[in-house]
Chain A
Amino acid sequence: MSRHFDTGAAPHFPPHATVGGVMRQVLYALAPGIAAHVWFFGTGVLFQILLATLFALGFEALALKARGRPVGVFLRDYSAVVTAVLFALCVPPLAPWWIAFTGMLFAIVFAKHLYGGLGGNLFNPAMVAYVVALVSFPQAMTAWIPTTDVAVHGLGPLDTLLTILGGRPVNDLGWDAVTGATALDAIRTAAASGQPIDAVRESSAFGQLAGRGWEWIAGWYLLGGAWLLYRRIISWQVPVAVIVTALLFSSITWLADPATFPSPVVDLLSGALVLGAFFIATDPVSGCTSDRGRLVFGAGVAILTLVIRRWGGYPDGVAFAVLLMNMAAPLIDRYTRPRIYGHG
């Protein structure tokens, strides 16, 4: 008597990796950096993450329903959560709630689902969100706060929450009282007024090596990125290309004119360069797919970031650099195709 079986496609192995698993690893790798962020700048970032995640999942569910796709399957792939967290890490901790709302609206609905959903977006959704928010709400998006140890009017968790929900600082403090420049802001101001870098080096925005607090956060992002490399979640080409190119470019300009240009260490540990190298430029959907292409992509991101920092209109240029390289990614992919076995 013959026995019948169900048939299914090869490979006949239990699943090796899942999209949700990959995304979750990214979140775990961000955790140390987030913890450092909280340590230095208070609980604001946690509320931003919470708000952004809620808005992101909400918009994603709405968009999936509107497109007639299964909602549960795609919410569980954590891609919206990663977008939300990356965005929340790029905005000031006291940013009002509508920043997260606008950002996630543009990231999820416009930059992701209108392009076909998961795997279809041409541009990095978190960066699209950041740029839209920056251009629409320039004041709120540049209102960074000093580290808790040097803050004059540091806000506790409840006050932070109320500030975010209310849209302005509590207790009638006023924005000037609670905000402070970042290291990159200070460098930009010095450059704009023609002062040498050393003049601002002693300001409270700076720590031992680079931006106060930010240098530690960048270090923890670096460790998280190393974890992702170890787990083979990302490949080494993009982060190495970004960091090496940034160091090279920065060294050249600094050696040429140390008074005007920051040192490579300052450049590397300030702003979102390390975050960008390991977590933002490595977004697989909007980046290049071939190994050589990724090297070019990473180098391009580094160069554009530093160019914008020095001669562009913004203190940090990671977001614009990533978006510009996203535009170039298909072309780079076309010209860096690996040679097929047996051809050539």
Chain B
Amino acid sequence: MFGRPKTAPMDAARAAGTRLHRFDGGLRLRHHKKMSCEVPVQRAALPQRLYVPLLQHTGRAAEASVVTGQRVLKGDPIGCFRHLGSGCVHAPTSGTVSAVVKHPISHPSGREGLCIVIRPDGLDQWRQRQPIEHWAEAAPETLLERIRDSGIVGLGGAVFPTAFKVRDASQRGIHTLILNGSECEPYISCDEMLMREQPDAIVLGARILQRAVGAQRTVIAIEDQMGAVNQALGDAVRRAGAGNIDVVKVTTLYPEGGEKQLIQVLTGLEVPAGGRPADLGLLCQNVATATAVARAVTEDKPLVERIVTVTGNGVRRPRNLLAAIGTPIADLVELAGGYAPHAARLVLGGPMMGFPLASDANPVTKAANCVLVLTEQDIRPPQPELPCIRCGECARVCPARLLPQQLNRFIRSGNWEASEDHGLEDCIECGCCDFACPSHIPLVEWFRFGKSQLRSRAEDRRRADLARDRFEARGTRLERIKAERKRRIAEKKRALGDQRTMKDRIAASVERARQRKESAE
């Protein structure tokens, strides 16, 4: 209340997980996870067509590297990065490329993007694979290249290309790897099921990532209500004989699973504003990402499928499905028993941070952790939004200790300096303030808009500065050219000086001659 612990020394970071701390704000939400955890993860049958988007990660889209009619094997690269900031995309199964077209890509804007459409041939045949057998002796750079070439991105929802994150982190020196298994958003249970059913793969992924980044130990964070998971992971750690991997239970409070909040809980430290966890010597990865890394390194299987939780009161049999990337969501819903009556909204993600999809033709992407079908009772009726009554509930629940009521006012009135000053860039868009607001103001929508505006204003400023520099440089250049020209003309004038005097003399004589002629008339 009177002053909080500021960023403490590195020792606290090294001691991650030994003591649990608390983060500010947060909400205790009802889980709704049991409904989808009652049956094991089921492999989803391949659909008629797979629509694999070329943009499934933060950064620029990949470029198609296949053409219509081309035959591909499972794991063949079909989209390559043309720019350093993007990841690559692989064929989820063997078949033929039937088209490269624009199609909905499960993006929050609802827009379409370029997709590779593949018609599976039913054989599900892998391409030639080259596992890295002795990864424990391999150079970290080899492991990073394999991660990059396998198209692995952060599967917790941020879909940041993992290879870049890990390489950037290892350059700053990492001592502790944190595996994030605390899936805090209600309804989503894909990570929980993964941890229950494939704990060995997770532990293997942890050890590989540890080697790739040079960390000394790993902390796997799970929620304290995941009882079976604790047992499964503990056994897997024992089987692997890994003495430096600890499984830690954290309290179930939304948004515990956010990277910044998890680090605060495990270490009591705050990631510096504008900085990254690597500044504290920590690297945070989702457990599914770790599993993908394990598969990529030990089996040379790129990221072509993921577990998706299909749940909500709007599907008849909620469950977790192992789906190929590019599977239309409609197919997944079919496998989950089809739509229940009164299914009213289709959300990709959880009820707090997920975004609605207009159609179930949208495909499963690397970011799709949950397909949530809600009925009318589950969603807010479209009611008019009331003005802010400054109750302060939003500030009370904000994990970033922001003042959403102030940010709301500033953004609406276009006061960008004040909103930046009040920490708009530090908003993690968790939705706690939205949930708590009695006036039902769509705060996160406004903050997303505000952040976009700040970004585009920064971009405008950069362009303006560039234009100003170029204009001034041009002005200087033109001045210089003018001055040189003047100098040259002055030189020429001097050189022609005598000749001019000669001309005057001739002119003067001609004039005299003329006058003489006139006077003689």
Binding site for B on A (CB under 8 A): 2-19, 21-22, 70, 73-74, 77, 79, 116-120, 235, 284-285, 287, 289-292, 337-344
Given known contacts A338-B395, A340-B273, A342-B271, A118 and B380 CB-to-CB distance under 8 angstroms: no
Residues of B within 8 A of A9 (CB): 434, 442, 444-445
Residues of B within 8 A of A11 (CB): 351-352, 431, 434-435
Chain B residue at smallest Cβ distance from A9? B442
Verify A14–B438 contact, CB threshold 8 A. no
B427 vs chain A, min Cβ distance (A): 10
A10 to B29, CA, bound (A): 15
18 contacts between A and B (CB under 8 A): A3-B359, A5-B345, A7-B357, A10-B353, A10-B431, A10-B434, A12-B356, A13-B351, A14-B379, A77-B386, A116-B387, A235-B396, A290-B403, A292-B1, A292-B2, A338-B395, A338-B401, A342-B426
Residues of B within 8 A of A290 (CB): 392, 395, 403
A7 to B390, CA, bound (A): 28
Verify A342–B260 contact, CB threshold 8 A. yes
A125 to B311, CA, bound (A): 48
Does B361 belong to the interface (CB within 8 Å)?
A: yes
Chain A residue at smallest Cβ distance from B428? A341
Does B402 belong to the interface (CB within 8 Å)?
A: yes
Verify B351–A10 contact, CB threshold 8 A. yes
B94 vs chain A, min Cβ distance (A): 25
Residues of A within 8 A of B198 (CB): none
Does B84 belong to the interface (CB within 8 Å)?
A: no
Residues of B within 8 A of A4 (CB): 358-359
A17 to B439, CA, bound (A): 8
Choose one: B264, B344, B361, B438; the contact of A21 (CB below 8 Å). Answer: B438
Verify A18–B6 contact, CB threshold 8 A. no
A76 vs chain B, min Cβ distance (A): 10
Verify B440–A341 contact, CB threshold 8 A. no
A313 to B270, CA, bound (A): 52
7 A-B pairs with the lowest CB-CB distances in the bound complex, closest first: A2-B361, A119-B387, A342-B273, A7-B356, A340-B423, A12-B351, A17-B438
Verify B1–A341 contact, CB threshold 8 A. no
Verify A14–B390 contact, CB threshold 8 A. no
9-residue interface stretch from B36-44, B59-67, B213-221, B370-378 = B370-378
Choose one: B390, B444, B445; the contact of A284 (CB below 8 Å). Answer: B390
List B residues 433-449 near A (Cβ within 8 Å).
434-440, 442, 444-445
Verify B1–A22 contact, CB threshold 8 A. no
Does B360 belong to the interface (CB within 8 Å)?
A: yes
- 12 further contact pairs, Cβ within 8 A, besides A6-B356, A9-B442, A120-B387: A2-B361, A5-B345, A5-B346, A10-B431, A11-B431, A13-B351, A17-B436, A116-B387, A118-B389, A235-B392, A339-B4, A340-B401
A9 vs chain B, min Cβ distance (A): 5
Verify A8–B438 contact, CB threshold 8 A. no
Verify B387–A117 contact, CB threshold 8 A. yes
Chain A residue at smallest Cβ distance from B27? A16
A21 to B391, CA, bound (A): 13
Verify B393–A17 contact, CB threshold 8 A. yes
A336 vs chain B, min Cβ distance (A): 11
A4 to B343, CA, bound (A): 11
Verify B1–A342 contact, CB threshold 8 A. no
Verify B401–A12 contact, CB threshold 8 A. no
Verify B387–A13 contact, CB threshold 8 A. no
A6 vs chain B, min Cβ distance (A): 7
Residues of B within 8 A of A77 (CB): 386
Interface of B is mostly: loop
Given known contacts A2-B330, A339-B401, A12 and B347 CB-to-CB distance under 8 angstroms: yes
Choose one: B264, B423, B436; the contact of A343 (CB below 8 Å). Answer: B423
Verify A19–B439 contact, CB threshold 8 A. yes
Chain B residue at smallest Cβ distance from A286? B390
Verify A8–B382 contact, CB threshold 8 A. yes
Does B141 belong to the interface (CB within 8 Å)?
A: no
A70 to B383, CA, bound (A): 12
A73 to B377, CA, bound (A): 21
Residues of B within 8 A of A235 (CB): 392, 396
Residues of B within 8 A of A79 (CB): 389
Choose one: B260, B358, B390, B403; the contact of A119 (CB below 8 Å). Answer: B390
B374 vs chain A, min Cβ distance (A): 6
Choose one: A73, A339, A344; the contact of B386 (CB below 8 Å). Answer: A73
A64 vs chain B, min Cβ distance (A): 12
Does B85 belong to the interface (CB within 8 Å)?
A: no
Verify A22–B391 contact, CB threshold 8 A. yes
List B residues 1-51 near A (Cβ within 8 Å).
1-2, 4, 6, 24, 29
Verify B389–A119 contact, CB threshold 8 A. yes
Q: Which of A12, A287, A292 is most buried by chain B, counting CB atoms within 10 A of its CB?
A: A12
Does B122 belong to the interface (CB within 8 Å)?
A: no
Residues of A within 8 A of B353 (CB): 10
A332 to B434, CA, bound (A): 25
Verify B270–A341 contact, CB threshold 8 A. yes
Verify A5–B357 contact, CB threshold 8 A. yes
B12 vs chain A, min Cβ distance (A): 15
Verify A289–B395 contact, CB threshold 8 A. yes
A4 to B344, CA, bound (A): 10
Verify B405–A289 contact, CB threshold 8 A. yes
B450 vs chain A, min Cβ distance (A): 15
Choose one: A5, A22, A341, A343; the contact of B399 (CB below 8 Å). Answer: A341
Residues of B within 8 A of A22 (CB): 389, 391, 438
Residues of A within 8 A of B386 (CB): 19, 73-74, 77, 118-119
Does B388 belong to the interface (CB within 8 Å)?
A: yes
Q: Which of A4, A7, A10, A290 is most buried by chain B, counting CB atoms within 10 A of its CB?
A: A10
Residues of B within 8 A of A17 (CB): 393, 436-438
A15 to B436, CA, bound (A): 9
A235 to B393, CA, bound (A): 9
B411 vs chain A, min Cβ distance (A): 15
Q: Which of B346, B392, B444 is most buried by chain A, counting CB atoms within 10 A of its CB?
A: B392
Residues of A within 8 A of B92 (CB): none
B355 vs chain A, min Cβ distance (A): 7
Residues of B within 8 A of A16 (CB): 435-436
Verify B356–A5 contact, CB threshold 8 A. yes
A10 to B264, CA, bound (A): 26
Choose one: B328, B351, B390; the contact of A289 (CB below 8 Å). Answer: B390
A119 vs chain B, min Cβ distance (A): 4
Chain B residue at smallest Cβ distance from A12? B351
